[in-house]
Amino acid sequence: MSVPDSLTLADPALLRTDGYIDGRWTPPDSGARFGVVDPASGETIAAVADMGAAETVRAVAAAEAALPAWRELTAKQRSAVLRRWYELMVDNTADLGAIVTAEMGKPLAEGRGEIAAGAAYVEWFAEEAKRAYGETIPSHDPAMRLMVIKQPVGVVAAITPWNFPFATIARKAAPALAAGCTVVAKPAEDTPLSALALAELAERAGVPAGVFNVVTASEPAAVGAALTSSPVVRKISFTGSTEVGKLLMQQAARTVKKVALELGGNAPLIVFDDADLDAAVNHAIVSKFRNGGQTCVCANRILVQAGVYEEFVDRFCAASAALRVGPGTSEGTDIGPLINAAAMAKVRRLVGAAVTGGATVRMGGEAHRLGGTFYDTTVLTDVTDEMDIAAEEVFGPVASIFRFDTTGEAVAAANDTPYGLAAYFFTRDLARAFRVGEALDYGMVAVNSGLLMTEVAPFGGVKESGIGREGARAGLEEFLETKYLAIGGI
């Protein structure tokens, strides 16, 4: 298998193009393949197995067959395998980061950062596997003993998006494997190569055949239907759009599966008039433009109090203008391309509608001179709640800035959305920090910071942003069943 000139790897074996089922690299039954395209150049970098329901059913069967032996291992034994998987990720950071950049488009530094973040989840759950504690309960009957133990859910389906193709697989697979579950992973059709590289490293780490499987497909519907309809699959863990998440939840209800859904967001970032403006601007830049604005926790709406509005806008525009748009492989690139033409069309639609509705383009506002799916770093002011850009995730390098007067007004505007994933605000008033933090209807709130993701804290949302948590102790609990044992005749 040759590696394209645009993707130079120290270990070319990490670029896999077949699915991975029952410990074997598996071509598609139909012989069909689909192209994985570098969004920066438009070049096809790999032709990946185009699988469907039949291969998915076999992957589920392999996971079911592997489950008894894997869950019977001690937590310490599973921990050792996961630890080795983590070490291999760290050892191959450069190659894995290059794969992420090639298929997704983010700058190389961000690609390597994603590998570090994903590996950190594997390291955390390798350790947390040994702490799936049960409990004893004071008995109601002196002749009985009451105990609670934790057992693995069973076979898990992990369905992941394109914007973090490595980290989202790692943070689902790691706790599942740590708990004693087996996994069938379905990566996004735009970015399957990171998941396949993870499977290659899982094999090297000693993950037994059938414990971790990857099914790749250009059309996800057939694979998703096979996973949700299977009575063998006991949990669906999905990261993606709210629309698809609702569909999967409906399908999973037929067999009463557990579901964990990390869905869309509409994150507010609030700047109060007593904020440290230097910090607010710097963190707002990171929160808004990281990954080219293509994250579910990006600041989608920047709300600035009237007293500092103009100064914040001037500083924010100056900082935004310093960001460089370009291919992720180019030195100094801060913002890569959008993932595909559909993403480009969405950004252009939302910006166009906002401008027509009265928003002011302070900078950018159009396709970048590089062409393709590159879009200018854009700042809009005079944005109002009635505009589509206030309600929809932009998923692009577009900052929409709103003006507000009072704290109550800001909180009401921030909460005026069906989503509730992440929120951010900046203030030096300690009382306000507590009041606003508690009043914001979001699963995660960052105060005086634009970053909140870490493996040691629970990640997830409320309302239509999802169900369940990833990371931290809660992330392991998602893959464990609670069993009560009542022991009589003592």
Residue positions annotated with a catalytic role: 262, 296
Q: How far apart are CA 485 and CA 145, in angstroms?
A: 8
Helix (H) or strand (E) holding 63: helix 53-72
d(CA 48, CA 20): 11
Place of tokens 């530094």: 109
Q: Are 462 and 124 in contact (CB under 8 A)?
A: no
- State the amino acid at position 212 in one-letter form: F
272 — alpha (psi -120 to 50), left (phi > 0) or beta? Answer: beta
Q: How far is CA 415 from the centre of its chain?
A: 22
Burial class (CB in 10 A: 0-12, 13-18, 19+), 73: middle
The two structure tokens encoding residue 8: 């130079």
Question: Count of CB atoms within 10 A of residue 369's CB?
Answer: 8
**Contact (Cβ atoms closer than 8 angstroms) between residue 292 and residue 111:** no
Region of 463 on the Ramachandran plot (φ > 0 left; ψ -120 to 50 alpha; else beta): left
- Which is nearest to 164 in space by CA: 26, 292, 306? 292
